[in-house]
């Protein structure tokens, strides 16, 4: 990214400044049906003349077909290589819009305005763009940093509580892998009470940016950001196949954080007291995901399909104490099953 993200009430005015300086040949704005209704009107006064495209909201529209819609719209409006695309939305809009911008005429400038907590602390930071393909999440994409990112915490007031809680799992994760004092500050934070998010987001984004700067293309330390995701993603993927039992990404990550913390404790990397502390913070926000013991086998099988694995080894990030992640930890299928059993049986 050319400049660090602007985070706070000044974000809309800073967006206007950036757009003035960028002086694009034409300005394009991408939103989805939710953000076109709830967020775009609050930015309108800060946007110079532009074209707006509203796509359907939801992960099911994070497809190449929607990309074709975006590319056709840019083409119909004769966007040239000096055009600029502003993406206003959650992870679907910022990932998909970033991918469309990176590939249209081999790349036009893109600006992210993430509107969910998940996108503000994670998806819109770090330059991962892409879409889902043939049932695989983020299967097609490129690394491409946006020109700039503007994070306006007031947009979080427009979110359903469940969506807000989902993003909070990534806040917990960032603190656990890299910043013990930040984790201590999460005790007692009541997500549903709409706290002032600015400082929490600033801190969480700084942790992620620091990691991404060291390893933009995920050959080393960026794997720390996968903490909670090996087992979390397995739970999310399995429940996606069970109609009516789907969970939000962050809900599954919160469960994954507990399972992978338990595995860390099993390897004596984490103390029993630390595990209890982590379980306490997770429990303050997340209800336990229900699955039967019989289902642990099917869930564990998904962990073997994770795109972060190499050959038959399940690659996981664990904790060596609160605030210190360790990546490239090989775990077995039996360990994944045992961690799911712990989660299933634990009084959470």
DSSP state, residue 121: I
Q: Find the binding residues for ligand GLY in span 214-243 (CB under 6 A).
A: 218, 222, 225
Residue number with CB closer to ligand GLY (126 or 256): 126
Percent composition of the chain: helix, strand, coil (DSSP 3-state, to 5):
55, 15, 30
Size of the site for ligand GLY (CB under 6 A): 6
> Measured between alpha carbons, how far is residue 109 from residues 102, 104, 270 in Å?
8, 10, 44
Note if 249 is an active site residue: yes
Structure tokens at 109: 């400038």
Kindly state whether residue 126 participates in binding ligand GLY, applying the rule CB under 6 A: yes
Instruction: Give me the least distance between CB of 229 and ligand GLY, in Å please.
Output: 8
Kindly state whether residue 122 participates in binding ligand GLY, applying the rule CB under 6 A: yes
Note if 218 is an active site residue: yes
CA distance 233 to 133: 16
Residue span binding ligand GLY (CB under 6 A) among the ranges 56-64, 106-114, 120-128, 288-296: 120-128
The residue annotated as part of the active site, out of 226, 274, 315, 344, is: 226
CA distance 226 to 232: 10
Strand, helix or coil for residue 151 = strand
| DSSP assignment string, 283-327 | HHH-PPPP--GGGHHHHHHHHTT-TT-BTTBEEEEEESSTT-EEE
Residue number with CB closer to ligand GLY (32 or 95): 95
Kindly state whether residue 344 participates in binding ligand GLY, applying the rule CB under 6 A: no
Instruction: Please give the residue whose beta carbon sits closest to ligand GLY in the complex.
Output: 225
Instruction: Give me the least distance between CB of 25 and ligand GLY, in Å please.
Output: 31
Structure tokens at 111: 């600006």
The residue annotated as part of the active site, out of 34, 62, 128, 173, is: 128
Pattern of binders to ligand GLY over 175-214, x per CB under 6 A? ----------------------------------------
CA distance 233 to 239: 10
Note if 233 is an active site residue: yes
The residue annotated as part of the active site, out of 69, 145, 147, 170, is: 170
Residue number with CB closer to ligand GLY (218 or 274): 218
CA distance 131 to 111: 18
The residue annotated as part of the active site, out of 20, 106, 307, 310, is: 106
Kindly state whether residue 128 participates in binding ligand GLY, applying the rule CB under 6 A: yes
Helices 296-303/229-240 angle, 10° precision: 120
Q: Find the binding residues for ligand GLY in span 20-39 (CB under 6 A).
A: none
By the criterion CB under 6 A, which residues form the site for ligand GLY?
Answer: 122, 126, 128, 218, 222, 225
């Amino acid at each position: 990214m050319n400049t660090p993200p602007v985070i706070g009430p000044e974000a809309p005015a800073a967006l206007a400044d950036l757009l003035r300086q960028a002086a694009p040949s034409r300005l394009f704005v991408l939103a989805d049906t939710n953000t076109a209704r709830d967020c775009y009107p609050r930015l309108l006064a800060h946007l110079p003349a532009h074209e707006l495209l509203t796509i359907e909201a939801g992960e099911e529209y994070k497809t190449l077909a929607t990309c074709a819609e975006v590319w056709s719209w840019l083409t119909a409006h004769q966007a040239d290589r000096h055009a600029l695309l502003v993406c206003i939305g959650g992870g679907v809009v910022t990932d998909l819009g970033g991918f469309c911008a990176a590939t249209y005429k081999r790349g036009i400038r893109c600006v992210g305005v993430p509107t969910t907590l998940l996108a503000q602390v994670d998806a819109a930071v770090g330059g991962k763009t892409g879409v889902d393909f043939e049932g695989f999440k983020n299967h097609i994409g490129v690394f491409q940093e946006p020109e700039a990112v503007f994070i306006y915490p007031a947009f979080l007031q427009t979110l359903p509580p469940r969506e807000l809680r989902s993003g909070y799992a990534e806040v917990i994760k960032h603190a656990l892998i890299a910043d013990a004092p930040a984790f201590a500050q999460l005790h007692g934070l009541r997500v549903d009470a709409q706290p002032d998010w600015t400082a929490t987001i600033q801190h969480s984004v700084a942790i992620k940016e620091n990691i991404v700067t060291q390893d933009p293309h995920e050959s080393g330390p960026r794997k720390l950001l996968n903490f909670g995701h090996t087992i979390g993603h397995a739970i999310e993927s399995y429940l996606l196949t069970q109609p009516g039992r789907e969970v939000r990404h962050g809900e599954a990550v919160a469960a994954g954080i507990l399972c992978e913390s338990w595995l860390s404790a099993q390897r004596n990397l984490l103390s029993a007291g630390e595990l209890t502390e982590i379980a306490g913070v997770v429990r303050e926000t997340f209800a336990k995901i229900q699955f039967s013991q019989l289902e642990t086998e099917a869930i564990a099988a998904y962990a073997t399909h994770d795109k972060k694995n190499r050959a038959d080894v399940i690659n996981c990030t664990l904790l060596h104490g609160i605030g210190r992640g360790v990546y490239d930890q090989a775990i077995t299928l039996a360990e994944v099953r045992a961690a799911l059993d712990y989660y299933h049986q634990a009084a959470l």
